Amino acid sequence: MNSAAGQLQARLAALGLHYSAEHLDDLAARATKRRMGPVHLLEHLCDLEEQERARRSLERRHARSKLGRFKAMADFDWAWPKKVDRKAIHCALSLDFVAERRNVVLVAAQGLGKTMIAKNIAHQAILAGHSTLFITAADMLLDLTAQESARALERRLKHYARFAVLCIDEIGYLSYDNRNADLLFRIVSMRHESKPMVLTTNLGFRDWPQIFPGAACTVALVDRVIHHADVITLEGDSYRLKEAKTAAASRR
């Protein structure tokens, strides 16, 4: 019996029925206890395998997203910003923009929670089954400029273009040369009207020439970004600074 069970486990695993292979003894005991008929047993196995595959798929999407740790929107202090479009943020979290192939641009000074909101949007996209990548502008452009051949660069551009939802964080914290501006423009152009992006920036669009000083494509870049976009602006003082002051006062 042990030999037969081992062979059956190996065959189930070879067929990709990994949950059934791993839990064969429990499934057999449960089927006997509940006196399951053949059809009921097969339906039960299908349900378990579908649940397990959905779980593994969610884990893979989350790992590939590079999302990392983040605070849930339940922890967001809606009363802190002086200006915040709560309805627009909830629409973004409901992923309306994905089906409509629109971009979401979060514009706010440092410390107002735009990255937190963007990560929660990315998380919702992952839960909904969309391939998602969360990356800072600096890391993405560093990766692209490090490619040593035109063919390698093209592969990396296609890599960033293939995700259903691409989240680019912290546009505006650093200045970039013309080559970086051209590379970002290529990413935006490849995804334009086909796949949405979520962008965070600390600068209004009229100030984007400061990010790419002298770049000829800046105007065209902004035009492509906002052509189909929901621009959400948050205004106020840094919440992180408030927390730091509160913690310092508590320590004193």
Q: For residue range 182-197, list pLDDT tens digits in order.
A: 999 999 999 999 999 9
The CATH architecture one would assign to domain 73-242 is: 3-Layer(aba) Sandwich (3.40)
Q: Where are the domains of the chain?
A: 2-64, 73-242
Banded model confidence at residue 53, pLDDT cuts 50, 70, 90 = confident
Q: For residue range 220-240, list pLDDT tens digits in order.
A: 999 999 999 999 999 999 887
24-34 helix and 2-14 helix, angle to the nearest 10 degrees: 110
